[in-house]
Chains A and B, each alone.
Chain A
Amino acid sequence: MTRSGFWIVAAVILVALMVLGVSWGTVPLSLHAVVAALAGHGDRNAVEIVRALRLPRVALAALVGAGLGVSGAALQGSLRNALAEPYLLGVSGGAAVGAVIGVALGFSSAVALPLFAFAGAAAAIATAILIARAAGGRADPRVLLMAGVIIGAFANAAIMVVLSGAPANTMRSALWWMMGSAAGADWPQVAWLAGYTVLAGGALLWFARDIDILALGDESATALGVNAERAGRRVFLVSSLLAAATVAAAGLVGFVGLVVPHLVRAAGIRRHRPLLLGAALTGAALVVLADLVARTAHPPAELPLGAVTALVGVPFFLVQLRRFS
């Protein structure tokens, strides 16, 4: 695929999947009915389904995917690690712990929750880097991943501990975070996640050239005039904030940040500014599709969104692992 071909195909697929996401479900709606409902006409049930249920859900899924894709691409580049992504690095797990603690303390608004998630993510990153450094530097991609896996396991355990003493409704929300879901989407949540995504995504686009240079390694980056340590930390923090915001909105959705940047690179896009934009588009399409599968594969039950992305992501991870070891 040529590069310009990639942009057209990715955009068309995303739009098509979003339309499908809004029209397909237990109550199937024709394209005509969807358009009418969007305008507020036609069957009142259809208007309700489209405007209050499906559209915010599709929008949330798209934003979660975009955020995870961008976060993964930025982390892979700045850490020089083709296997890096927020979920595998334990960043998402830390964010989930932060969010669960936030809920347990009674802060469940769409504004405050990402901040709790971010605090959890930041703690997870700091721990992962410390472990990797103690084990011989972050140069070895596998060490950082191992640290991330350990932190992810620890995060799960922490959530379980919080769960064990919690009332039933807290328990449900904690479980929900561990499995990932876009089911609870509403417009305020979409608006807040959009704000975080635009802000953090914009910052990463601003840093994109630094990421190009960081991908050469610390020595070469320093020789080209980048303060490798400071620039790397900046990218790491903003990527984590972005991942944390997606976790606060939809829980743990793994492997999107891993798979998406590789798909975009395969289309010949290597510089990080277009790569990040491409990862946003592709990530959005992937999670909208995954949510559609989660919602419609096994009605009336819903599959956890995180389980659907893991079913795609784990084989992909294994293929990548083989390539890099």
Chain B
Amino acid sequence: MIRFDQVVARYPRAAGAAVDDVSFVVPPARITAVVGPNGSGKSTLVRALLRMLPLVSGTIRVEGLDGAAGDRRAFARRVAVVTQRESLVFPMPVREYVALGRYPHEGSWHAAGAEDERAIDDAVMLAGVLPFAQRSTEELSGGEWQRVRIARALAQRAPALVLDEPTTFLDIAHEMAMFELFARLARGGTAVLLVSHQLNLVARFADTMVLLHRGRVAAAGTPTEVMRAAVLEPVYDWPLVITRDPAVGAPALLPLRGSSR
């Protein structure tokens, strides 16, 4: 479980807070999605979780452990984070890359044991990267690379998983497969925190949505509660209508043409 409690974070030399008094909980076995327009503070929340940005006030705890407490490896054993972007300067075999996820569990000489090998095998299977596990990272397509990065996070075997815009550059099939994977992980008990722009997909897959606007929580609740024109229009500053997704009945958003403003 991840607990954000009255979190205030500010970038150095910035006038206002990038994240202001944000509180919510990411429970186990659920997908919690953080949505909001560009610059609303979604990625800042992830940076604050990693303590790459010091908190002005408030706490972020994962399984009861405060990231500010200092033991970063213990923190990484509790939460795995797939950051928005990552590129490798030196390519390596996919399996070796996934094995890096075991770092927080390794002893001081960092030799891999049987438990590590098992975790790597499981992660490779679960993320569906087995077909290209023997390839080098430089030979992967965008979708494959994204899966490999998730496999590395799964190898951490953390009870919580944070994904920052994991499907940004993916086509429909790869994106859907990714969301199905998140749903499977949540069913397996993982507390999934998903930062995404894909409101409609999030509305189908997430249990809870947290809508951020200018660093504050504008709305939080089930997709049906958050996906309402009255809630979304002022936040996105664009006219839109909410309909029903004909496949599963989840709320779906249709932005209108600009001239109808």
* Chain A residues in the interface with B (C-beta under 8 A): 76-77, 80-82, 208-209, 212-213, 215-220, 222-227, 265, 270-271
Contacts and interface: CB of A to CB of B under 8 A. Distances in A.
B51 A216 contact: no
B173 interface: no
B140 interface: no
Contacts, number: 65
Contact of A270 (B74, B76, B96): B96
Given A226-B72, A265-B90, A213 B81 contact: no
Contact of A82 (B83, B89, B104): B89
Given A222-B72, A223-B76, A213 B103 contact: yes
Interface of B: 47, 50-52, 72-77, 80-83, 86-93, 96, 100-101, 103-104, 106, 110, 156
A227 B76 CA distance: 11
Contact of A220 (B74, B86, B106): B86
A212 B73 CA distance: 15
A222 B52 contact: yes
8 contacts: A80-B89, A82-B89, A82-B90, A208-B110, A222-B51, A223-B76, A223-B81, A224-B100
Contacts of A225: 72-77, 103-104
Contacts of B86: 216-217, 219-220
Contacts of B80: 223
Given A225-B77, A265-B90, 19 more contacts: A76-B90, A81-B89, A208-B110, A209-B103, A215-B88, A216-B86, A217-B87, A219-B47, A222-B50, A222-B51, A222-B52, A223-B81, A224-B100, A224-B103, A226-B72, A270-B90, A270-B91, A270-B93, A270-B96
Contact of B106 (A209, A219, A265): A209
A221 to B, nearest CB: 9
B85 to A, nearest CB: 8
Contacts of A218: 52
Contacts of A82: 89-90
A216 B100 contact: yes
